[in-house]
Homo-oligomer: A and B are copies of this chain.
């Protein structure tokens, strides 16, 4: 079934990935709406017109980047919220996982944070869609937790959204500490942990009115 794709398509996907990588790097210091197609091809070392063989416009390049940054993140999210261990352990695990992800894929995180409210509508929509899926998956995971007994589905969705937003905020705060002294990073981790803890307390004492 895994049809090893020919020399031709392989090379195509290679330059496509090179375009994505170059764009992601250029986007560290600007927004997608100011990213020029020539700028990207120049960085890759390819003719401007070659761009069109892969993307109709830079907006579509952006949508592809959303897939790359968030598409394969769903399993990780799922296992993070899964009800293993006590509340404190789960929170610590989640914060560490976020910190690790930011350290490993900083430009992905930056791109998502930047373009979530950015100037390119299709990209905003793609991000919203992915985040919506995250929220739904978190809700489903929360529903499994015995702690959620008696909770309305609306409230579970509310809580899931709160978690997802908090995840993004934390990630973007870690991002800002990437080339800062270690103490800053510790402080962000500490504050994020306490935020989650407070939400956790609220959750425990929530009355499903």
Contact = CB atoms under 8 A, between A and B. Distances in A.
Across the A-B interface, the 6 shortest Cβ-Cβ residue pairs? A202-B202, A34-B34, A31-B31, A31-B119, A30-B119, A198-B202
A200 B198 contact: no
A188 B174 CA distance: 28
Contact of A33 (B33, B116, B159, B203): B33
30 contacts: A30-B34, A31-B119, A33-B33, A34-B34, A113-B117, A114-B119, A117-B172, A118-B118, A157-B191, A158-B191, A158-B195, A158-B198, A161-B191, A161-B195, A162-B195, A162-B198, A165-B169, A198-B199, A198-B203, A198-B206, A199-B202, A200-B202, A201-B201, A201-B202, A201-B205, A201-B206, A202-B202, A202-B203, A204-B205, A205-B205
A194 B31 CA distance: 34
- The winner among A27, A29, A30 for most chain B CB atoms within 10 A is A30
Contact of A194 (B27, B155, B199): B155
Interface string A34-75: 100000000000000000000000000000000000000000
Contacts of A119: 27, 29-31, 34, 114
Nearest to A207: B201
Nearest to A113: B117
Contacts of A113: 117
A89 B162 CA distance: 21
